[in-house]
Amino acid sequence: MELIRRLRVRDVRCYEDASITLGDRLTVIYGANGAGKTNLLEALYFGCTGRSCRTSNDREFIRFGQGAARVEFELEGDAGSHTLAVGFEPGQPRHVTADGGPVDRLVDVPFRPLACVFLPDRLDLIKGAPSLRRDHLDQLVAGLWPARASVRRDYGAALAQRNALLSRIRNHGVDPSELDTWDLELGRHAIALRLERERAVALVGEPAQEIATELGLPGGLELRYRPRSTAEDPAAFAAELLERRSSDLERGFTGHGPHRDELLLSREGRELRVYGSQGEQRVALLSLLLAEREVLAAERGQTPLLLLDDVMSELDADRRARLVERITAAGQSVVTTTELEHVPGGEAAGVARVTVERGVVGQELAA
């Protein structure tokens, strides 16, 4: 398993040039609110994935007044030491180098660390629109089985083609029977996508329930994938589309299929999106991410780097202790907090501790 030994950031958010060393298991970054702790988590995530975990506008990732940002890792694993760097300049592809050589895509780097991240802002995953949960589920599928990452893209391409044909039929008098071929094609990809999602939810459901109970969510956590279609073959899916063809033509887009499916997170039969308190939603999100981390470790043979931002603030002392015990059992974890004592065992030997004050890494305490 690859461990990130050192992170260096240049012109990232509030940092001109900063470096931190990570512990083998736990790293605690602490300081006042607004000091820049989350920016370091974001940089770690960016180095693992090539994208921000906080914004869709990557320009915000670059320090104000600068034209580019860069994240560098020093890694150590069973096969030896490696370096990995990801640079970003607006309007340009990511500039990725591995062991000093250029790489076309970050996902092609064999020693690229996997990452899971908890941010308070990610509560939208629980209480936001279904599309957020579908996207998250599809990212999990791609993480679990990289060879299947194209399933979502293939479905999206077929859906776009069918929607374009619906538009031509409405506006230019094209024969509606031309939809028959695309209905079968869409059905082929729809069934593949639904099966992969169901498979992922089945893997994550049990550990998520266990972790939620351990972290004190009353009634535990239930995950349920609710598909619009349960068709077993493309012909059956095409028949479902045919029943809805007139309404699709009226609206000008396809209203049936996996792009309308839902991932439900419930407690005692009630959707947390509607009936859960913010505290319950936070525990549910944390449980889901921890379960996904465990499943990814089992499937990929590599425990993802876990990034937890301000996770301790709404947990009592007992649940904090349970959480730290679980996350330090395997892999690396980085936790931000305003006070070191909020992290049980944060002062123990083997823990890397980093202080941050007003955007400056003031002191790094030896692990």
132-165 pLDDT, tens digit per residue, is 999 999 999 999 999 998 999 999 999 999 999 9
Band of the pLDDT at 366, cuts 50, 70, 90? low
Domains in the chain, number:
2
Pair of tokens at residue 9: 């950031």
- pLDDT of 363 over the 70 cut: no
Q: Are residues 271 and 312 in the same domain?
A: no
For position 364, what pLDDT does the model report?
58
What is the rounded distance in angstroms from the CA atom of residue 22 to the CA atom of residue 84? 15
- pLDDT of 31 over the 80 cut: yes
Q: Are residues 156 and 266 in the same domain?
A: yes
- pLDDT of 213 over the 90 cut: yes
Which residue among 244, 273, 301 closes a domain? 301
For position 352, what pLDDT does the model report?
95
What is the rounded distance in angstroms from the CA atom of residue 172 to the CA atom of residue 245? 17
Contact between residue 27 and residue 328 where contact means Cβ atoms under 8 Å apart: no
Strand ranges of the sheet holding 80-88, from the earlier edge strand across to the other edge: 15-21, 3-12, 69-77, 80-88, 95-98, 101-103
Q: Are residues 295 and 314 in the same domain?
A: no
What is the rounded distance in angstroms from the CA atom of residue 238 to the CA atom of residue 186? 8
Contact between residue 99 and residue 75 where contact means Cβ atoms under 8 Å apart: no
Q: Are residues 10 and 107 in the same domain?
A: yes
Kindly state the average pLDDT of the residues 64-81: 94
Q: Are residues 77 and 145 in the same domain?
A: no
Q: Are residues 138 and 166 in the same domain?
A: yes
What is the rounded distance in angstroms from the CA atom of residue 108 to the CA atom of residue 355? 34
SS3 letters across 215-271: CCCCCCCEEEEECCCCCCCHHHHHHHHHHCHHHHHHHCCCCCCHHHCEEEEEECCEE
Averaged pLDDT of the chain: 95
74-92 pLDDT, tens digit per residue, is 999 887 999 999 999 999 9
DSSP string for 14-70: TEEEEEEE--SSEEEEE-STTSSHHHHHHHHHHHHHSS-SS-S-GGGGBPTT-S-EE
195-208 pLDDT, tens digit per residue, is 999 999 999 999 99
What is the rounded distance in angstroms from the CA atom of residue 278 to the CA atom of residue 51? 27
The CA R_g of the chain, rounded to the nearest whole Å, is 23
Q: Are residues 262 and 214 in the same domain?
A: yes
Kindly state the average pLDDT of the residues 324-341: 96
Which residue among 301, 336, 358 closes a domain? 301
Kindly state the average pLDDT of the residues 354-361: 90
- For 188, list phi and psi in degrees, rounded to 5: -60, -45
What is the rounded distance in angstroms from the CA atom of residue 9 to the CA atom of residue 145? 30
User: What residues make up the domain containing 283?
Assistant: 122-301
Band of the pLDDT at 367, cuts 50, 70, 90? very low
CATH at 269? 1.20.1050.90
Q: Are residues 292 and 315 in the same domain?
A: no
- pLDDT of 180 over the 80 cut: yes
38-63 pLDDT, tens digit per residue, is 999 999 999 999 999 999 998 999 99
Which residue among 279, 301, 323 closes a domain? 301
**Quick one: what percent of the chain has pLDDT higher than 90?**
92
For position 358, what pLDDT does the model report?
85
Q: Are residues 16 and 59 in the same domain?
A: yes
What is the rounded distance in angstroms from the CA atom of residue 338 to the CA atom of residue 208? 27
CATH at 100? 3.40.50.300
Q: Are residues 79 and 217 in the same domain?
A: no
Contact between residue 96 and residue 109 where contact means Cβ atoms under 8 Å apart: yes
Q: Are residues 232 and 281 in the same domain?
A: yes
The verdict on pTM exceeding 0.95 is no
What is the rounded distance in angstroms from the CA atom of residue 95 to the CA atom of residue 50? 9
Q: Are residues 157 and 246 in the same domain?
A: yes
